Amino acid sequence: MAKKLNLENYPDYLESWWIEKACNYFKKDSLEQILPQLQSAVQELSDLFTLGRTDPIRNYSKNERLLVGYGIFFFPQMYARTQFPISEILKFRQWNPTSNDTLKILDLGSGLGASGQSAAIELRNNFVNRPILVHSVDQSSLSLQWSEEMRFDLRNQLKNITFQHHVADYTRYKKLQSIADNIFDLIIFSYSINEVIEFEDTENIYNWLLDLSKQLSPNGLLCIIEPALCLTSERLEKLRNHISEKKEFFIWGPCLHSEKCPLLNEQKFWCQEVKSWNPPKSMELVNRKLWRSIRELKFSFLIIGKNSPKQLPNNTEKMFRLISPVSKMKGKYLMTGCAADGQKHVYDLQTRHLDRRNKNLIEEIERGDIIKLKKAKTLGDKYTHRIENIEDLEIIFDPKK
């Protein structure tokens, strides 16, 4: 039933759709002719997303010029990011959603629809022949109208996936229930919950999610994807700690354990994924004068479910998620991991016995990849370990492979 996933980053048909939309909006024939307009829209959006997270952010989705900028520059990133947590639950956790035929996704704060669409495609790649239904909910009727238009135009590429669009405030849970009177296999908030949880304490958010989880199927999962900023990531870590205390949900990712978050304890670094990718040409073109670093996708995420994931093959420091870059020091590589024992550990690997091929292998490991060690020698304190032989290291989850 399951087919190997092949992360495709960002499909050409979506890039072409957005280029045509942008050219039509600015009444020009090519992307080159509208670069200054797009650059100023992207700059405005970037400022809103990173600096002024207050009222204006709620209004960008009513502004066609800003939505065009979003479509060319942010939509591809949202689309590609979503592939990583979804492929983790499919490939690493071997999630089996439900015995029913149709797979149902509820995309809350769907905006122009990048994440819901990307998740649907990943599920379609994995569960071939099962129909997929996506309910997209957003307060912006303009965003939903555009995403409906896109999905109609691209119906040949989106075969077997049906979309329903609902203009609604997703915090009004009762209203939401009447719109989407359904049980879902996957509920997604992608870069949308921060606009709400900013003003709420963790307990309230938790209770709200608990209420929402009544709409999750027994094997259903709730996936929150957030910007990798310290503030937004730590908010997610606090929510995650609350979840692990209450024991009403199971944590499916990113953590390999349900102990307290070791990073939040220290408050020095925060948990984030950093993944390299190939941005579409149109995004690179717009970026020429913006000089933003677009070769990496950064984000934080949390996936929870009412049922527990399958047990991991190892729950010690020998299995860990990489939570730092791999850094090359004099004569060795250093890596920090959040391990299945719930602790942060540091691992070193001496370079002297490594050939170029093995060095490349280590240098290609990215934050968020999951590693298993056959053996490691504990040095000094119990949180530092030496990998003495490269053969003892196995990358057991790299979403790109």
Ligand X SMILES: C[S@@+](CC[C@H](N)C(=O)[O-])C[C@H]1O[C@@H](n2cnc3c(N)ncnc32)[C@H](O)[C@@H]1O
Least distance CB 179 / ligand X (angstroms): 11
Which of the stretches 23-31, 103-111, 228-236, 304-312 binds ligand X when contact is defined by CB under 6 A?
103-111
How far is it, in rounded angstroms, from Cα 9 to Cα 62? 28
Of 187 and 322, the one with the shorter C-beta distance to ligand X is: 187
Q: Which of residues 55-74 bind ligand X (CB under 6 A)?
A: 61
**Coil, helix or strand for 319?**
strand
Q: Which of residues 303-362 bind ligand X (CB under 6 A)?
A: none
Q: First and final CA of the chain: distance in angstroms?
A: 19
Of 171 and 324, the one with the shorter C-beta distance to ligand X is: 171
Closest C-alpha among 158, 172, 83 to residue 119: 83
Among the listed residues 68, 114, 263, 271, the single contact to ligand X using CB under 6 A: 114
Specify the DSSP class assigned to residue 308. P
**Residue 285 half-sphere exposure toward CB, CA atoms < 13 A:** 16
Among the listed residues 39, 87, 110, 125, the single contact to ligand X using CB under 6 A: 110
Of 199 and 291, the one with the shorter C-beta distance to ligand X is: 199
Of 170 and 252, the one with the shorter C-beta distance to ligand X is: 170
Of 196 and 354, the one with the shorter C-beta distance to ligand X is: 196
Of 193 and 326, the one with the shorter C-beta distance to ligand X is: 193
Specify the DSSP class assigned to residue 34. G
Among the listed residues 34, 72, 112, 187, the single contact to ligand X using CB under 6 A: 112
**Coil, helix or strand for 161?**
strand
Least distance CB 79 / ligand X (angstroms): 7
Residues with Cβ within 8 Å of residue 62, at least 6 apart in sequence = 140, 142
Least distance CB 141 / ligand X (angstroms): 10
271 binds ligand X (CB under 6 A): no
Q: How far is CA 224 from CA 70, 92, 141, 204, 287, in A?
A: 20, 18, 22, 16, 27
Specify the DSSP class assigned to residue 171. T
Closest C-alpha among 170, 154, 173 to residue 114: 154
How many other CB atoms are found less than 10 A from the CB of residue 55?
Answer: 7
Instruction: Kindly give the interhelix angle for 75-87 and 114-126, rounded to the nearest 10 degrees.
Output: 40
115 binds ligand X (CB under 6 A): yes
Of 31 and 114, the one with the shorter C-beta distance to ligand X is: 114
Q: How far is CA 30 from CA 25, 149, 183, 216, 276, in A?
A: 11, 21, 44, 44, 28
Which x/- pattern, by CB under 6 A, does the window 163-202 give for ligand X? ------xxx------------------xxx--xx------
Backbone angles phi, psi at 380, to 5 degrees: 50, -110
| Beta strands in 98-138, from DSSP E residues, in sequence order | 103-108, 132-138
Binding-site size for ligand X (CB under 6 A) equals 20
Q: Which residue is nearest to ligand X (CB)?
A: 111
83 binds ligand X (CB under 6 A): no
Of 143 and 244, the one with the shorter C-beta distance to ligand X is: 143
**At CA 1, angle to CA 250 and CA 307, rounded to 5?**
10
Among the listed residues 111, 253, 262, 399, the single contact to ligand X using CB under 6 A: 111
Which x/- pattern, by CB under 6 A, does the window 131-160 give for ligand X? -------xxx--x-----------------
How far is it, in rounded angstroms, from Cα 117 to Cα 186? 12
Of 73 and 170, the one with the shorter C-beta distance to ligand X is: 170
Of 110 and 213, the one with the shorter C-beta distance to ligand X is: 110
122 binds ligand X (CB under 6 A): no
Least distance CB 167 / ligand X (angstroms): 9
Least distance CB 188 / ligand X (angstroms): 7
Q: Which residues bind ligand X (CB under 6 A)?
A: 61, 78, 109-112, 114-115, 138-140, 143, 169-171, 190-192, 195-196
